[in-house]
Structure 1
Amino acid sequence: MPSLSLEMTFDFICPWCLIGKRNLDAALRLLARQRPELDVRVNWLGLQLLPQVPMQGEPFAEFYQRRLGGKRAVRARQAEVYDAARRAGVEIELERIQTMPNTTYAHRVFQRAAQVGSQAQLERLLELLFRAHFQLGEDIGQRETLKRLLRSCDYLPEQFDEALADGARAFIGRRVGLADSSVPLFLADGRAFALGGQSPEQLLASLLRTLDRQEALSA
């Protein structure tokens, strides 16, 4: 059976990553209709965008006003995010977010979860972490929040003692060149083929071009 290995870089606090995941999911459904024989596997590459955020987090509104240069710029950026989310069918409620979290522990937990659970558990954990931040406004930088989400996915919290130990430093995942500073970046068999909030149709077209190149090389 022909196969395709995909990867997507992400951070839990990046709305474009949630939008990108939804668009990738839709693109893969479209791909499955055209290439039902293809076995596609997706690996999620965590990238901590803001290691400088205090471990206890900081006020969300103040963070973005400082980062973008004022309330008007924040409103413009949020309008852009809401429009892209609507087109992707993603529910985002930025007004509920009170704290910009440090995602060190979230990434460490997710990395460990990939080692001790199933792919279905990992997918559910990723969805719950995105939902906790973008829909419920929960602080995913807090270890108790992460433990609760782990239990919701049927993980054993004691398997995460090292990931949740005191004194954790900024998370550094696998280095993949451009992906070290770009989210969401989409890779096929280790090579980037798309970046940012592209539509499912755009992602599908890129995937088909990638497959055509692979088949031409192997012919």
Structure 2
Amino acid sequence: MFATTEQGTAVNKNESVTVDVHFDFICPWCLIGKRNLDAAVTYLASLRPDVSVKVRWHSHQLLPDMPVDGVPYQAFYVARLGSPGAVAARRAQVQKAAEAAGVELMFDRIEVMPNTRAAHRLVAWATTTGAAIKPALLIDRLFTGYFIDGEDIGSPDVLERIGLACGLDAARLAEHFTTSGREDNMTLPCSPQADDVQGVPHFVVNSALSLSGAYSPGAIVDAMLRSIGDQENR
């Protein structure tokens, strides 16, 4: 259920912090967590420009048994939470956290609850094949495609269009989807922390400090500083 990618932030290398992030594209808290992490990395650079930060992305499918073509999104959540009122209350909670992270979620635009396997495999493929893009850029575009544009990120056509927009090579991308279409039952590789992940987003800082949930940028910075034994600047 897992695939791994990496993003590097170029800073002086006197100290280093590695953040492993476990996520799924259908989780709005993961998009919020990503934006908070982005803000934390920027803030840490202003506090400690001597610290280098590497972010490694690990896919974690929340619903691996979802049909390949997905299911109707709105009906899925009504059945899951019990009533339209419960769905509205949950979305209001998520929207408040998203706004604090600078994100406006467009739940009403989403029509399909997708199987995210193909999206995760696209990110893993784009990374391992040496494509000249940052994984975080593709991940962010898949998140916004789903939660803001309401795109069906389980559709190969949608994924191919997003990949092209992110600068992936058209011929190699087409070959990827032709090949992956014959390997739908393949298990994605596990991350080193897979057994400890109970929910997403799940952050592990320097293989030691775990944060489960969409923590604030300040809390993430504190964890990164603790991981290198430095809170003097906080």
Using structure 1 for the length normalisation, give the TM-score. 0.90
Which sections of structure 2, spanning at least 5 residues, go unmatched? 1-12
Q: What is the distance in 1 between the residues matched to 2:179 and 2:216?
A: 35
Structure 1 residues 155 and 29: CA distance shift in structure 2, 3 A: same
1:7 to 9, 14, 20: 20
2:92 to 45, 58, 79: 79
Greater Cα offset, 168-177 or 128-137: 168-177
Deviation at 1:164, TM superposition (A): 2.8
Write the mapping of 1:21-36 to structure 2, written as runs, cut at 5 A.
21-36=34-49
1:174 equivalenced with 2:190 (yes/no): yes
Deviation at 1:182, TM superposition (A): 1.8
Aligned to 1:111: 124
Structural RMSD (CA)? 1.9
More helix as a share of residues: 1
Q: What is the distance in 1 between the residues matched to 2:42 and 2:132?
A: 18
Using structure 2 for the length normalisation, give the TM-score. 0.84
Q: What is the distance in 1 between the residues matched to 2:168 and 2:204?
A: 28
1:209 to 197, 203, 226: 226
Aligned to 2:206: 189
1:147 equivalenced with 2:160 (yes/no): yes
Aligned length: 213
Greater Cα offset, 112-121 or 97-106: 112-121
Aligned to 1:165: 181
Structure 1 residues 135 and 11: CA distance shift in structure 2, 3 A: same
Structure 1 residues 121 and 206: CA distance shift in structure 2, 3 A: closer
Deviation at 1:195, TM superposition (A): 1.5
Structure 1 residues 75 and 119: CA distance shift in structure 2, 3 A: farther
Identity %: 38
Aligned to 2:7: none
Greater Cα offset, 134-143 or 144-153: 144-153
> 4+ residue stretches of structure 1 with deviation over 6 A?
none
Q: What is the distance in 2 between the residues matched to 1:198 and 1:34?
A: 19
Residue identity in the other structure for 2:87: V
Q: What is the distance in 1 between the residues matched to 2:55 and 2:179?
A: 23
1:95 to 83, 87, 108: 108
2:151 to 119, 124, 138: 138
Residue identity in the other structure for 2:30: C
2:76 to 52, 63, 69: 63
Q: Residue 212 of structure 1 aligns to a residue in which SS?
A: coil
Q: What is the distance in 2 between the residues matched to 1:37 and 1:160?
A: 39
Q: Residue 183 of structure 1 aligns to a residue in which SS?
A: coil
Aligned to 1:123: 136
Aligned to 2:30: 17
Q: What is the distance in 2 between the residues matched to 1:180 and 1:166?
A: 29
Q: Residue 69 of structure 2 aligns to a residue in which SS?
A: coil
Q: Residue 26 of structure 2 aligns to a residue in which SS?
A: coil
Structure 1 residues 170 and 51: CA distance shift in structure 2, 3 A: farther
